[in-house]
A and B are shown apart, each in its own frame.
Chain A
Amino acid sequence: MHVPDGFFNAVTSISAGVVAAAGVAVCLRGARRELDDRTAPMAGLVAAFIFAVQMLNFPVAAGTSGHLMGGALAAILVGPYTGVLCMAVVLLVQSVFFADGGLTALGVNITIMGIVTVLAGWGVFRLVTRVAGGKVAVAAFLAALVSVPAAALVFTLLFWIGGTAPIEVGTVAAAMGGVHLLIGVGEGLITAVTVGAVLAVRPDLVYGARGLTRPLLLRDAEGTTTTTTATAGTTATAGTTATTDTTATAGAAASAIEGAGKPVGGRGPLRPFLLGGAGVTLVLAGLVSFVASSSPDGLEAVAENEGFIDRATGHLFGEWALADYGEVGGIPVGVAGIIGVGLVLLVAGAVAHAARSRDTSRDTSRDTSRDTSRDTSRDATLDQPRDQVRDDTQGRAHGETRA
């Protein structure tokens, strides 16, 4: 998938480079929030892991084999910001040191394989975990499944806009999407099992699963059962037969932590991420398609062909061709692109809003516990011994005795 030099014209390469640089800059700030001063070693090691995993070939069918892209996996395991950062560094190292992917195509590569796969994967993952609850494996599978064809389609789109070969965008998109959907199944399977394997051993490491784990049941020698919520430290006990004062104090402590944690909010980190995503899309749609109109060669050929397709297959492509014919000459393509992106954002926003409002109405407690767990775990990583976060049961037992 690594794009070499000469695939895209200079203007597209540079615009994609600008998009990639902006994305990486946003993620540098975001990753500092996710990992604070641990960013350099942690992201470096995770990047090395992704590089190694990309070397892991898995057999697809009769003789052919594929390898992971790892964007969705990185997003789920270490969070979207760090994920983009790791992918960008992997691509940078591959391009500069291993000559895998052209230097001038670095922007395109980072945009497609870093930003798009992580954005698509993380978006799907969040959507599925919110709507369907704690099915992390399913969400991971779908996220990886979607991320691969998404990258392939963005590649096709970019190639249509600024590629150096004339292609039929419809057929190429269909072919690329189809093939990569198959690859995506493999990627999805591996990602889901990998995430599952990590969850089984160290659930606290899976960024995407924070706050989604089932409450832990603690049974002690007298047969008292204590239910704890979520992860790390917070011991909101809803014990059935636990001694009353323990529950009361522990509950108070938990609510105090919740109260303290809430204003900081778990929603905070999501907003710049969404804004960044929207910005990247708008720049791509507006700026890059402006560039496209200045290179009539590829576009004309495609427009001609769109007409061809229109006549051949009729309705499905009819609207597309019409839109293209109407606008290539008159309205600037960039404006059309931005309008299109706006429409898509509107629809996606409506869907997301519907999904979210249903989610919050159904279950608010889970949401708050998710927020606090993330905050406390982040605080804990700052100065307390990491063991407390690492060893869940121990941490909770500790909390119990203290209470």
Chain B
Amino acid sequence: MGAGHHHQLHLPGDSVVHRLPPQCKLLAVFAFALVVVATPRERLWAFACYALLLAGVAAAARVPPGRLLRRMVIEVPFVLFAVFIPIVGLGERISVLGLSLSLPGLWAAWNILAKATLGVAASVLLTATTEPRAILLGAQRLRLPSLLVQIAMFMLRYLDVIVGEMRRMRVARESRGFEARDLRHAPVLARSAGALFIRSYERGERVHLAMLSRGYTGRMPVVDDLAASARQWGLALALPALALAVWGLTW
């Protein structure tokens, strides 16, 4: 696969952010997320500054804001959950627009909303500027066990194949008039899942044999060297460093 198989998550480009080695970006995003999560929720200004930092990165990477926002829809279930917390929360109650809401609950909801949004935005930026395969190679550079990286790579590589098989099964079901309306129809879906498992497993066996016949010995060959210069590390880690500075300044 590899070449010419750009995932829709990835937005090809040639900006400063795109060119950074993946391990630098990965570490920077992780560190940034940690700083955000560790920030006390009362420091409203800090969160505004974090958002500005991310907006700066998005601008530098030339990721259009509309795309960023569309990808952040994934958060919606937790927005709903966050709305729910002040209503069932404990402690002191205040009334807002005729609703009795819990004050600690409101803080908690704000906390989750702000931090989750920042985390999602950072991770969307990472995938938009880095190829999935490169992210995993970067993770390997960061000493993630190589077996784990290999498994994740196989998963990513065959994800579209397996999901495509599932889609074809759905088309086949629906073209025969099947429509899942309630739990009684679940067994049909479950049998599809069983068939899908057998297909996936047998495909895995074939893939393994094909790999063996091409000289696989348990390690994947390293094709491209991902060495990062000190300057690149510095550039990438500027994001969490600035976030940390913001945290310190708003003390």
Pair from one complex = yes
**B158 CB contact (under 8 Å) in A48, A59, A77, A86:** A48
> Would B90 and A5 count as touching, CB distance under 8 A?
no
**Known interface pairs A52-B196, A100-B74, A197-B194; A44-B151 also in contact (CB < 8 Å):** yes
Task: Tell yes or no: B38 within 8 A of A by CB.
Answer: yes
Given A48-B159, A92-B152, answer yes or no on A201-B198 (Cβ-Cβ < 8 Å).
Answer: yes
Q: Is the CB of A190 within 8 A of B190?
A: yes
Interface assignment of A256: CB less than 8 Å from any CB of chain B? no
Does B118 lie within 8 Å of A5, measured CB to CB? yes
Q: Tell me how far the C-beta of A2 lies from the nearest C-beta in chain B, rounded to whole angstroms.
A: 8
- Nearest Cβ in chain A — how far from B82, in angstroms? 9
Chain B, residue nearest A39 (CB): B147
Q: How far is the CB of B4 from chain A (nearest CB, A)?
A: 19
Chain A contacts for B182, CB-based, 8 A: 59, 61
Contact for B90 among A24, A104, A191, A301, CB less than 8 A:
A301
* Residue from the list B37, B120, B132, B192 in contact with A10, Cβ < 8 A: B37
Known contacts: A5-B115, A42-B208. The answer to whether A301 contacts B91 by CB under 8 A is yes
User: Does B183 lie within 8 Å of A77, measured CB to CB?
Assistant: no
With A5-B33, A40-B150, A41-B207 as known contacts, state yes or no: A197 contacts B191, CB within 8 Å: yes
Q: Mark A98-111, 1 if CB is under 8 A from B, else 0.
A: 11101110000000
Q: In the complex the two chains form, is B124's CB within 8 Å of A193's CB?
A: no
Task: Take A5-B36, A24-B148, A89-B148 as given contacts and tell me if A44 and B204 are in contact as well, using a CB distance cutoff of 8 Å.
Answer: yes
Closest CB in chain A relative to B94 CB, distance in Å: 15
A56 to B111 Cα, complex, angstroms: 32
Q: Is the CB of B72 within 8 A of A99?
A: yes
How far apart sit A10 and B72, CA to CA, in the bound complex (Å)?
23
Interface residues of B in 61-88 (CB under 8 A from A): 71-72, 74-75, 78, 85, 88
Minimum distance in angstroms from A111 CB to a CB of chain B? 16
B145 contact set on A, CB distance < 8 A:
24-25, 28
Query: Which listed segment binds A: B101-109, B222-230, B232-240?
Result: B101-109
> What residue of chain B has the Cβ atom nearest to residue A8's Cβ?
B37
A166–B92 Cα distance when bound, in Å, is 11
Which residues from B are CB-within-8-Å of A61? 182-183
Residues on A close to B: CB < 8 A? 4-7, 9-10, 13, 24-25, 28, 32, 37-49, 51-53, 55-61, 68, 77, 85-86, 88-90, 92-93, 95-100, 102-104, 164-168, 186, 189-198, 201-202, 205, 301, 305, 386
Having A51-B162, A52-B166, A193-B186, one finds 11 other A-B pairs with CB under 8 Å, namely A5-B37, A5-B120, A7-B116, A24-B145, A46-B204, A53-B193, A56-B189, A97-B9, A168-B90, A189-B186, A202-B201
